[in-house]
A and B are shown apart, each in its own frame.
Chain A
């Protein structure tokens, strides 16, 4: 991410370890951040001294929830749920239907990488990344 000081509108899907960490960091940097999770208790992971954005309790695979988060206004959408297929679906909806300029998703299953290259969605496959990191450190 370029660190020019412009405040961006960022939507994060999933408030697990990764989603909450990103939300805390990006909100602290001064970006307007909205985080969506279907379990209200997940928001406990947000740090109140760092995170000053909005929380939406809802299932982000439901179009009305994405609309409630004003997806059409987003500069960035990050798919960080534990379910690869949810991230891939929402990533495509954000990019193709709502033309969100910057869409990035996390996946765990490296078998899905060829699909993501074909549908042209930016992703990080944590399994592949960590494996290469480990090999590098051996």
Chain B
């Protein structure tokens, strides 16, 4: 996949490096000449110096040959305009924008952006969940907050410990999708038994999330 990333800082560097390691072609657009020099020394991809909200700069970055654009400048308005120019002038179908104001996640989607994400939202979600339940080691929401993916470790005082999955009455909107046991990943069946120390990946909907967690963790919650 060919991806343009507009923005700067360590975040852009690590994201670009990650994409490259997965075999994607990355082009970065950055306003600061110093940062461009630094990025071009550290990364293999093309680095374009300029304002990503300027159609001329997007053209320089060969935007019409790209599959996706990721706009992660510090300003919501710039990220919106970058994505819209990419979409309307250069026919890039996948547009992703970082937003500061969590309210803009929904607004940007209404304005045609594929996905808008706010770290405010993600971090507060994680903190809320982590401080509420110690055994939950990871929580993220996907599909624009419509689905939760929770990672939790089975402890021996959970009611579901040593039970077969088909004996556990989870609500309809919950699924134990994967178990990590002794560093091996298992895609579970009804006959799989949950053991102490299992790291499970749970898919749930936000409205049932609390109820499902309670079923799994019992009164230790």
Chain A residues within CB distance 8 Å of chain B: 61-64, 83-86, 88-90, 92-93, 96-97, 109, 111-112, 114-115, 118-119
CA distance A53 to B199 in the complex (A): 60
User: B77 interface residue, CB < 8 Å from A?
Assistant: yes
The smallest C-beta distance from A118 to any residue of chain B, in angstroms, reads 5
Given contact pairs A61-B101, A115-B55, A118-B88, a sample of 15 additional A-B residue pairs in the complex whose CB atoms are under 8 Å apart: A61-B76, A62-B103, A83-B77, A84-B81, A85-B53, A85-B75, A88-B77, A88-B80, A96-B111, A97-B111, A111-B56, A115-B81, A118-B89, A119-B84, A119-B88
CA distance A97 to B77 in the complex (A): 15
User: A63-B103, A64-B103 are contacts. A89–B80 as well, Cβ < 8 Å?
Assistant: yes
Residues of A within 8 A of B101 (CB): 61-63
B54 and A115 contacting across the interface, CB-CB below 8 Å: no
- B129-150: which have CB < 8 Å to A? none
State the interface size on chain B (CB cutoff 8 A): 20
Give the distance in Å from the alpha carbon of A61 to the alpha carbon of B111 in the complex.
15
Please report which residues of chain B, range 104-138, place their CB below 8 angstroms from some CB of chain A when the two chains form the complex.
Answer: 104, 107, 110-111
Contact B89 A115 (CB under 8 A): yes
A126 vs B183: C-alpha distance in the bound complex, in angstroms? 63
Contact B103 A97 (CB under 8 A): no
B80 to chain A, nearest CB (A): 5
Is the CB of B151 closer than 8 A to any CB of chain A? no
Q: B107–A63 contact, CB under 8 A?
A: yes
Q: Is the beta-carbon distance between A89 and B88 smaller than 8 angstroms?
A: no
